[in-house]
Structure 1
């Protein structure tokens, strides 16, 4: 059995990863959450690239790219771990 990662799961994972990165330029750790009956866990070491944007309201440094050094994405259901089709390249589209 294989678990297909949906665009909604990519969005959720990207949002949680962005929160975990916060304002940093490097992230190494895990992001764990439940989604659609599955326990999901992204383990990753990621270099974060940003760009500076200046507006009258202030300066911002949004994430423009993530370069994974290493990553794993696990999905676990009631019967145990399930192989999935997660792609870090696909995740980057949601950051």
Structure 2
């Protein structure tokens, strides 16, 4: 059975990955969370490129792009691991 990764799941991955990256320029680790009874795990090594954004309250370095060095996305349900259609290009598009 193929697990189809929804837009909402991609958005959750992006939110969690951004939190894990924080102000860093490189991330290497795993994010594991449950979504509707499915355990999702992203393991990745990612180079973070930033751009300076100016606001009235000050400047900040926002994430401009993520370049994956290596990644895996696993989905596990009650009956075990399931193949999925996750692609890192969707994650990059949301940043």
After TM superposition, the score normalised by the length of structure 2 is 0.96
Q: Post-superposition, which runs of at least 4 consecutive aligned residues in structure 1 deviate over 6 A? A: none
Distance 2:36 2:84 in 1: 14
The aligned residue for residue 2 of structure 1 is 2
Aligned-partner Cα distance in 2 for 1:94–1:6: 13
Deviates more, 1:52-61 or 1:78-87: 52-61
Unaligned runs of 5+ in 1: none
Q: Name the counterpart of 1:62.
A: 62
Alpha-carbon RMSD across the aligned residues, in angstroms, is 0.7
**Which residue number in structure 2 is paired with residue 80 of structure 1?**
80
* Mapped partners of 1:30, 1:23: distance in 2: 17
TM-score (norm 1): 0.96
Q: CA deviation at 1:38?
A: 0.4
Q: Report the number of matched residues.
A: 95
Alpha-carbon deviation of 1:54? 2.2
* Between structures 1 and 2, the one with greater strand share: 2
5+ long unaligned stretches in structure 2: none
How far residue 55 of structure 1 moved from its aligned partner, in angstroms, is 2.4
